[in-house]
Amino acid sequence: MDINTFIAQFLSGLSTAMLLFLISSGLTLIFGVVNVLNFAHGSFYLLGTYFAYQLMQLFDNFWVGLLVGAVGAGIVGMVIEFLFLRRIYGRAQEGAFQLLMTFAFILILDDVVKFIWGTEYKTIPKPASLAGSLNIGTVTVPVYNIFIIIVGLLVVLFAWYVLTKTDTGKMVRASSLDRIMLGLLGTNVPMIMTVVFGVATAMGGLAGVLAAPLRTVTPGAGVEFIIDSMIVVVIGGFGNFWGALLGALIIGEVLAFGILWMPELATVLTFVVMIIVLIVKPEGLLAKKAVGRK
């Protein structure tokens, strides 16, 4: 492999990684704070895409679509958390019921999308300002991929700032450590959970809009992406924000180079990576305490 192919493939992997990170950081945030593994996260990704599609039919402006897709997915997420998920917290065998409830929402939301927008392929074009490609040395890279990488980095920076430097972030981190104590200190913990759920699903929606110009928009798109982001969360460690970043980078590059190395089995490779991590270090690469082991 010559160096040009390598750089081009690396950058393409990086943009996949950033999309994966946007989804899986939301997943891991929900797991860390709300203690729910949201199997339906891919459906919010899907909702984001279709909200944006609808808005672009009306206004023909990518940026309006981007905003509405993210915010709309977040609002639906908050409503679902508030009305449904909240009722099963703390139940015996909670894990199984979370799995079932979020599975139910995959079935419901994906069918609602099919019902409203139909099953045929839709397209969301790249905005004109990001349509070209850029020459870095001898490598040609689409501007849109660089745009995704930059948006991803901005979200990482913003999340780092909010989580570590602000009072809100302190509250969110505290609620992932000890929910009951935080409540006793007079914080409205249920509201934090709803808001975190909303922000996380909005990030999923944002990823949905960003990914749409690179892929075809179909009702099955959410499910395809959710499995990969689940792998990212497992590799990085459940509830670990930086783990999600590391996991996303690993899986993004594995997908990018796997396609060159063995095109037939690239999708299978991600599972191999996950199995190796779960067997060697089940709590995830960046987790400090050993959990989930016997």
Partner 1 sequence: MKKIKDYLPWIVYFVFFLGILVVNPGTHYIHLVARIIIFSLYAVAFNLLYGTTGLVSFGHALFYGIGAYITGMLVKATSPELFLLYIVLGAVGSAFVSFFIGLLTLRLTGIYFTMLTLAFAQLVWGLTFKLYHFTGGDDGIQAIAKPEILAGGVTKYYLFSFIVVTICIYILWRIRRSPFGTVLNSIRQNPQRVTFLGLNVYKNQLKAFVISAFFAGIAGGLYAGLDGSIHPDMLHWPTSGNAILMATIGGMGTFFGPVVGAGILTGLEEVVGKYTEYWSFYIGVVVLIVVLLFPNGVLGIRKFSSSKNNEEKETEVVCNSGN
Q: Does 81 bind partner 1 (CB under 8 A)?
A: no
Q: Does 63 bind partner 1 (CB under 8 A)?
A: no
Amino acid present at 270: T
The residue within the footprint of partner 1, chosen from 8, 234, 245, 256 (CB under 8 A), is: 234
Angle, to 10 degrees, between the axis of helix 241-261 and the axis of helix 221-236? 120
From the CB of 275, what's the least distance to partner 1, in Å?
5
Give Cβ neighbours of residue 233 (< 8 Å, ≥ 6 apart): 24, 27, 28, 31, 243, 244, 247
For residue 31 the two structure tokens come to 């797991």
Provide DSSP, 175-238: HHH-HHHHHHTT--HHHHHHHHHHHHHHHHHHHHHHHTTTS-B-TTHHHHHHHHHHHHHHHH-T
Distance CA 263, CA 267 (A): 9
Q: Does 88 bind partner 1 (CB under 8 A)?
A: yes
83 or 128, CB closer to partner 1? 83
- Which one of the spans 91-99, 132-140, 141-149, 179-187 is the region binding partner 1 (CB under 8 A)? 91-99
Is residue 192 classed exposed, middle or buried when 0-12, 13-18 and 19+ CB atoms within 10 A define those classes?
A: buried
The residue within the footprint of partner 1, chosen from 128, 180, 279, 290 (CB under 8 A), is: 279
- Which one of the spans 11-19, 121-129, 193-201, 269-277 is the region binding partner 1 (CB under 8 A)? 269-277
39 or 62, CB closer to partner 1? 39
Binding positions for partner 1, 106-145, rule CB under 8 A: 106-108, 110-112, 114-115
Sign of CA dihedral 27, 223, 206, 154: positive
From the CB of 292, what's the least distance to partner 1, in Å?
4
The residue within the footprint of partner 1, chosen from 44, 50, 62, 238 (CB under 8 A), is: 238
From the CB of 165, what's the least distance to partner 1, in Å?
30
Distance CA 17, CA 249 (A): 5
Residues near partner 1 (CB under 8 A):
37, 84, 87-88, 91-93, 95-97, 99-101, 103-108, 110-112, 114-115, 227, 230-231, 234, 238, 264-265, 267-268, 271-272, 274-275, 278-279, 282-283, 291-294
